[in-house]
Structure 1
């Protein structure tokens, strides 16, 4: 077995372990506050409505909500969610006996939450069926994690390659091979991003409802996953169509759209304040995109064997950009973990925290490899062919490690960031982000992307 084959086998094994160890039960992001009637309560008269209250806004899932009698027979009832309260209105007055209420709602960050309670009218029934358990669909969970990884990787590389492509114009203008290869890599990333985002639309609906693959899921075009898919597709069209449709500002707006799609769903929708968490999330993914896309871009350009002078200048420029990207990435990550996790001890007490630690350790490995590149290889690239070959190998290792980071991230989005005890003790200052806050961040991201791309030509003049 060659060294390259061994590295690929190790990387594949790490990713496979992440998928195998992924939680298969619904992760509770909206926490139950109380129910009326309370669990186990015996009420003298039949209530005309039942309520279940949570600590954040919820939406009733397309499936998984039902009211059962003591024998397990369904009782006709209407389920509706208003804010943080789920209301159940029986179609007819309930008779004496015990009833089981099962619910499945979608929290503000699009994660499903399931639970159940029982109560009795008049007096408890002599025999009562056990509370039906929720059968999570492992196939849906695994496919959703794969689609998340494809979308995250595609979006980050697509946005990063768009930035790198603008910086590399002086080189690609002289080198037709590098230009064509960079264009193909950008197109491939766009296809991956769009495919992952579009596949997540039905997969998310099945995941939220708890239904198996291919079933009716009650999906609507207003679902966050559908909105995110539209943003990715429009952003990809803007980036790939820039040479024909417009100038750098259009590509910048497209970058803002594809990166903004990652803020439409996820943990940042649930934890506030929105004015801090959403921009921090956008900063986090933008920095990661510049770093990841730049690594891929450098590999593509160096593989085309450009002039030694061009290669040296591109490597030096990206090395400087990567330092800033890593610094901003760290700032965004610290802010997000502080607001989302709720406690430092969550790093080792929760599955979410342990995955964050894995992500930090792998990222630190990439930083160490990058620092070694900067201090040992960058200066020698122009004069040494061996340095260029070594640099390509190190860049490939960095890109592979970042692939593991993307895989971890795809699992993190489906894991509850707080245990039940930490969730009770923590705060959600500012409350979940509403549609207005998300829209404002999307507009801000597109505007900043357009402005940045208008300024990029002035930053690349020294490469000419």
Structure 2
């Protein structure tokens, strides 16, 4: 390795070390509403000129994302703007007395929409308030078709970039390799076509998902205008990069300049997706995005290389030492690729998740662990290929033995490629998921938020609802991120289940945080993340359905002290 290569490697290691040693940020979940002005349920002497919502990270508006209704359910004229983490809704002067309901929908920095509502009154609360279409306060997942398009886009992009890189870097310019080279070039063109279709299709799918409307919303220019410009940039760079790469590659036997430009175009296309997604919510963003780019490039070389070997090994196995030569070239690079994938994968997981608890107590974390396990299987197969099957192929003295060895290596490489595609499938679903604050494994021993001065005893409240005792635990009764844990116990104090999972809602004196999404973590035990913005008394409303016609509701109060 030359001096420039050693310098680049040292710079990479330094950047990765800085990224690893910096304190991990909290889980990069969707934006959370932390304050409203006026407060939920407030009764004001006069109508406010403006309603303000404050979130814990930057948000953006979607078309018709904010609507205001009066007590009769009639729309009230309003206009909304979003600047950084603040959403402001301007009201007209002629707002009358009674209850008003503001329904809102915004998009988090990671591209996922969140929604909710705020009700307050002018003069006095209305005796009757007509129900208005209020969206769920929690985040919603993307539709299945969008997840499929994301997965297809990532797999085809990485595969195409890897195939082009394989032709440029590993296939010798020998006439005996012409048929193998042609096969790889044709495959890269097919992969580029699929990738371009998938990434271009993802643009309108993302717009519809964020707006929360049907495909009819695509007929409105405001729907397209509301989409983050980076979504267009990424789709454009991916498409242009792949088109340029396959055009410049031609039939594979082109001059050095065209091959290098084709390789650079593929690298640019593979890096582009790092500009969107969860890395935008990770600090420091520049290093996280850089690590993600390296992760994508390394993944493309690995996946494209494996598929390329499956395509060419059967043909090259009977053509002298060509198969062994190609494998030798690829294996040298593959070792560095695996190291880069492992390091960047661990770093990105740590920076996005923020704590070890997230890996075991959230859907994102558990899916990430499955991905890590699948990647480990792929690495084991790669080691078997490199240290067992490749030496056998090199030592084969007869043509029949070389064909047999190449066939065995091709099948093993195909298995490795299948596992890697499964890893990419899991990655596609991880892109659409949001890591959330880790729920506590138990009520005891929960620590307080950073800067709170030490561990904080969790707050526990209980109430009898029918034949079930509900025991609710707030892991950290101080402002900041925490966990609400609900246990359902029968008359003997053993875990039991109701007709369905409990529904929770958390509100304080000044803000209604809305519904608390919970996951079942054990029989009769449910847990969900919360972010408490201020000190004071917070009320946890528990709705427990005990039967088809029995649904008691109780309120538990938790005092939250300033840290």
Is the TM value for this pair above 0.5? Answer: yes
Asked if 1 retains the 8 angstrom alpha-carbon contact of 2:69 and 2:75, the reply is yes
Asked if 2 retains the 8 angstrom alpha-carbon contact of 1:137 and 1:211, the reply is no
2:284 matched to which residue of 1?
Answer: 273
Q: Find the aligned partners of 1:28 and 1:345 in 2 and give their Cα distance.
A: 14
Shift of 1:128: 2.3
1:326-380: per-residue Cα shift (whole Å, max 9, x none)?
A: 1111111122122211211001111111111111011111111111111210011
Shift of 1:138: 9.6
Q: Find the aligned partners of 1:401 and 1:117 in 2 and give their Cα distance.
A: 47
Asked if 1 retains the 8 angstrom alpha-carbon contact of 2:160 and 2:191, the reply is yes
Shift of 1:226: 1.5
Shift of 1:250: 1.5
Asked if 1 retains the 8 angstrom alpha-carbon contact of 2:271 and 2:297, the reply is no
Segment drifting more, 355-364 vs 160-169? 160-169
Q: Find the aligned partners of 2:140 and 2:283 in 1 and give their Cα distance.
A: 31
SS in 2 for 1:247: helix
Q: Find the aligned partners of 2:417 and 2:168 in 1 and give their Cα distance.
A: 20
Change (3 A) 1:298 1:406: same
1:153-195: per-residue Cα shift (whole Å, max 9, x none)?
A: 0111111112111123315653221011000111111112111
1:364 matched to which residue of 2?
Answer: 376
SS in 2 for 1:62: strand
1:115-168: per-residue Cα shift (whole Å, max 9, x none)?
A: 222111122111224563438999961111011011100111111112111123
Segment drifting more, 339-348 vs 89-98? 89-98
Q: Find the aligned partners of 1:161 and 1:72 in 2 and give their Cα distance.
A: 58
2:425 aligned with 1:407, yes or no? yes
Q: Where do 5+ consecutive residues of structure 1 fail to align?
A: 1-26, 427-464
1:394 matched to which residue of 2?
Answer: 412
Shift of 1:243: 4.0
Segment drifting more, 312-321 vs 342-351? 312-321
Asked if 1 retains the 8 angstrom alpha-carbon contact of 2:105 and 2:115, the reply is yes
Q: Find the aligned partners of 1:163 and 1:144 in 2 and give their Cα distance.
A: 28
SS in 2 for 1:269: helix
Shift of 1:81: 0.7
2:12 matched to which residue of 1?
Answer: none
Asked if 2 retains the 8 angstrom alpha-carbon contact of 1:366 and 1:401, the reply is yes
Q: Where do 5+ consecutive residues of structure 2 fail to align?
A: 1-27, 441-448, 450-479, 483-563
2:339 aligned with 1:330, yes or no? no
2:123 matched to which residue of 1?
Answer: 122
Shift of 1:64: 3.5
Q: Find the aligned partners of 2:371 and 2:143 in 1 and give their Cα distance.
A: 20
1:228 matched to which residue of 2?
Answer: 234
Higher strand share: 2
SS in 2 for 1:215: helix
Q: Find the aligned partners of 2:423 and 2:266 in 1 and give their Cα distance.
A: 21
2:183 matched to which residue of 1?
Answer: 181
Q: How is 1:158-307 mapped onto 2 (pairs within 5 angstroms)?
A: 158-170=160-172, 173-216=175-218, 218-220=223-225, 223-243=229-249, 247-306=258-317, 307=319
Q: Find the aligned partners of 2:439 and 2:64 in 1 and give their Cα distance.
A: 28
SS in 2 for 1:169: coil
Q: Which has the larger radius of gyration?
A: 2
Asked if 2 retains the 8 angstrom alpha-carbon contact of 1:116 and 1:131, the reply is no
2:365 matched to which residue of 1?
Answer: 353
SS in 1 for 2:321: helix
1:3 matched to which residue of 2?
Answer: none
TM-score, normalised with respect to structure 2: 0.67
Segment drifting more, 146-155 vs 260-269? 260-269
Q: Find the aligned partners of 1:138 and 1:281 in 2 and give their Cα distance.
A: 25
Change (3 A) 1:399 1:237: same
Segment drifting more, 127-136 vs 152-161? 127-136
Segment drifting more, 88-97 vs 348-357? 88-97
Q: Find the aligned partners of 1:113 and 1:201 in 2 and give their Cα distance.
A: 19
Query: Which structure ranks higher in relative contact order (CA pairs < 8 Å, sequence separation ≥ 6)?
Result: 1
2:327 aligned with 1:315, yes or no? yes
Asked if 1 retains the 8 angstrom alpha-carbon contact of 2:110 and 2:281, the reply is yes
Q: Find the aligned partners of 1:264 and 1:360 in 2 and give their Cα distance.
A: 23
Asked if 2 retains the 8 angstrom alpha-carbon contact of 1:238 and 1:253, the reply is no
Q: Find the aligned partners of 2:278 and 2:140 in 1 and give their Cα distance.
A: 21
Higher helix share: 1
Change (3 A) 1:386 1:174: closer
Q: Find the aligned partners of 1:50 and 1:133 in 2 and give their Cα distance.
A: 17
Root-mean-square deviation over aligned CA pairs: 2.5
Q: Find the aligned partners of 1:260 and 1:139 in 2 and give their Cα distance.
A: 25
Segment drifting more, 353-362 vs 309-318? 309-318
